[in-house]
Homo-oligomer: A and B are copies of this chain.
Amino acid sequence: MVADREMVESNSDEILRDAQTEDVAFLVVGDPFGATTHTDIVLRARELAIPIQSIPNASILSGIGACGLQLYNFGQTVSMVFFTENWRPASFYDRVKENRSIGLHTLVLLDIKVKEPNLDAMARGRIVYEPPRFMTVGTCAKQMLEVEDERKEGVYGAESLAIGAARVGGTQQTFVSGTLKELCDSDDRLGPPLHSLVLLGRRTHELEHDFVRDFAVDRDNWDKIWRADYQNKT
């Protein structure tokens, strides 16, 4: 059986329907417990006394270590959604603030829009899906700076160091490091989706510096900001 996310969220009983009498396998992208959705289906299986076995997998949550920052120094992970005129959820800002207050890096997972219905067509009684959209590092960096401009709590700024990541774990995996301002214009260097972003905390190690500066947009600028704001600030 192939089940998409909509099916898991709204109709997990359909997935579990025959599981009392036969083996049902359910494949997901990344680690099965990266999302609440899958915790929910395990709970449902438990209620129905269906034994389950989960198999761990590589996940962006650990795969991001390939950017060269120690996984031990990451705080909570946040998500960034596409802003619209009327909907600009900024709860990520408070989480980033917490992480930075104790020196930790923040992994920002970027919005994916697939199977979004076209609203005009829907009004005319037809279901037409929009082409898929994947948020880029550039859009994420811009939205982050917009929110800092609104909130003005100095959680980060245009000169804060970050790493843009593209296609982590794939053969064409690419990283670009720079200030948030520089990353606003680095989508061409990063290439096709999926993208993620890591905002650095001040708890850094010289080894990380050596690793990450290698893919800096501007190494001189990276070195200068690193020395001033990050090095030996733990």
Contacts and interface: CB of A to CB of B under 8 A. Distances in A.
A36 B214 contact: no
- Range of interface residues on chain A? 35 or more
Contact of A56 (B62, B76, B208): B62
B169 A36 contact: no
A88 B106 CA distance: 30
B56 A169 contact: yes
A33 B66 contact: yes
A56 B66 contact: yes
Contacts of A211: 39, 42-43
A40 interface: yes
Interface of A: 31-34, 36, 39-40, 42-43, 46, 53-59, 61-63, 65-66, 68, 70-78, 98-99, 101-102, 104, 168-169, 171, 205, 207-208, 210-211, 214
19 contacts: A31-B62, A31-B65, A31-B71, A32-B66, A33-B71, A34-B71, A39-B208, A53-B171, A54-B66, A56-B59, A59-B62, A59-B71, A61-B61, A61-B71, A62-B62, A72-B78, A73-B76, A75-B75, A76-B102
